[in-house]
Amino acid sequence: MSNPASSSANLPPLGTASKTAYPAGRMGAVTWASADGNMVFFFGGMSDSGSMADMWAITCDVGEQQNTTDPTGCVSCGPVSYGASAGGTCAQCPLGTEPNANRTSCVTCPTGSIRNSSMTSCLPCDNGTFSGMNRTHCIRFKSWGWIGGSVGGNPVGNYSFPGTFDPSASPSGRYASAFAQDKSGTVWMFGGASGGTTHQLSDLWAWNGVNWRLVSGASALDTPSLLGTDSPWPGATASAVAWPSADGGFQMFGGQAYSAVDYGAACVFFSVGAIDCLARN
């Protein structure tokens, strides 16, 4: 298609519609309507400049759609809608975005602002909150909470309730323990180095999300292992590697052991309380 030759035409950019655009006057043009009735086309005709080969459409502009109650007119897209092309229909902007000023596209809500399903525009978050990655909810940082145990240095723990999850039970102060979380959510913790010393522990604890349970062992430091006996138990160990096992317990390997024979020991702690160890040194 070529541009119209008549200087009396007011041309919009090719492929767009404009409320100030109009074609040159003419006669004998070919006209027809689109199948949905949203657009009227015409082509050619005879103007003062001669025969024409321009094609025009009467349609709604970008950012608009046909008025459903009066098809002869157009209405702007709604508060959270946009129209990307002339003659098209308005579409909802995704949550976390809003239409630009001309309602021709959607833009992400600015940092610190959100738009969810109850909003018609991006609104700023309250003080103390921030907009998440999707810009749909204002998020507040979670807070630390002290839920148990002693905050003093090197506490001795409470070993008075073996075999029972009890609110008074608590491990002694330590670091570099072996720990793993099984499929039920129980956290298992074995040994570690006693706080403030280089001595190791050999006790096994379980945490059910509420309370601690002393599964086996005691508060004694630097206990030797019972590997190779009918009741195997690893010796005092710190910095071992642990991972959950299929039955619900956990497995442990290596670490810094008090006894040289325990270096490279591999142990399986079963959820029922049994244990199986293999020394590999």
pLDDT digits (tens, 9 = 90+) for 239-254: 888 888 877 778 888 7
pLDDT bracket for residue 34 (50, 70, 90): confident
pLDDT digits (tens, 9 = 90+) for 189-233: 999 998 766 789 989 999 999 999 998 888 889 888 777 666 667
Instruction: With a cut of 80, say whether residue 16 has pLDDT above it.
Output: no
DSSP state of 260: G
Pairwise CA distance, residues 112 & 143, whole Å? 20
Q: 3-class SS at 35?
A: coil
10 Å Cβ neighbour count for 89?
15
10 Å Cβ neighbour count for 101?
7
In a domain, 167, yes or no: no
pLDDT bracket for residue 87 (50, 70, 90): low
Cβ contact 19:40 at 8 Å: no
Q: What is residue 169's predicted lDDT score, i.e. its pLDDT?
A: 94
In a domain, 9, yes or no: yes
Instruction: With a cut of 70, say whether residue 3 has pLDDT above it.
Output: no
10 Å Cβ neighbour count for 242?
22
pLDDT above 70 coverage of the chain, percent: 81
- State whether 179 and 266 are in the same domain: yes
Q: What is the mean pLDDT of the chain?
A: 82
pLDDT digits (tens, 9 = 90+) for 128-165: 888 988 999 999 888 888 888 888 888 889 999 999 99
Which among 35, 59, 83 is the end of a domain? 59
Tell me the average pLDDT across 120-133. Answer: 89
pLDDT bracket for residue 265 (50, 70, 90): low
**Token code pair at residue 62:** 């970008």
In a domain, 253, yes or no: yes
Pairwise CA distance, residues 135 & 272, whole Å? 47
pLDDT digits (tens, 9 = 90+) for 35-83: 766 677 888 898 888 899 988 877 777 788 877 666 667 888 888 998 8
Q: What is residue 165's predicted lDDT score, i.e. its pLDDT?
A: 95
Instruction: With a cut of 80, say whether residue 95 has pLDDT above it.
Output: yes
Range of the domain at 90: 60-140
Place of tokens 């007119």: 73
Of residues 108 and 48, which shows the higher confidence score? 108
The pair phi, psi for residue 178, each rounded to 5°, is -85, 130
Q: What is residue 98's predicted lDDT score, i.e. its pLDDT?
A: 94
In a domain, 70, yes or no: yes
Q: 3-class SS at 44?
A: strand
Instruction: With a cut of 50, say whether residue 123 has pLDDT above it.
Output: yes
- Residue 198's contacts (CB-CB under 8 Å, 6 or more residues apart) are none
- State whether 272 and 178 are in the same domain: yes
Which of 59-63, 102-106, 114-118: highest mean pLDDT?
Answer: 114-118
- 3-state SS, 100-112, equals CCCCCCEEECCCC
- State whether 43 and 68 are in the same domain: no
Which residue in 138, 104, 110, 133 sits closest to 122, CA to CA? Answer: 110
Of residues 100 and 272, which shows the higher confidence score? 100
- State whether 66 and 41 are in the same domain: no
- pTM, full prediction: 0.54
- State whether 101 and 45 are in the same domain: no
175 forms beta bridges with: 193
The total domain count for the chain is 3
- State whether 45 and 84 are in the same domain: no
Which residue in 240, 157, 258, 252 sits closest to 199, CA to CA? Answer: 258
Instruction: With a cut of 60, say whether residue 26 has pLDDT above it.
Output: yes
Q: Own/partner pairs for 102-111, CB < 8 Å, 24+ apart?
A: 102/62, 102/63, 103/62, 103/63, 103/64, 103/76, 103/77, 104/62, 104/63, 106/82, 108/135, 109/135
CATH number for the domain harbouring residue 185: 2.120.10.80
In a domain, 145, yes or no: no
Tell me the average pLDDT across 105-115. Answer: 93
Q: What is residue 275's predicted lDDT score, i.e. its pLDDT?
A: 65
Q: What is residue 71's predicted lDDT score, i.e. its pLDDT?
A: 63
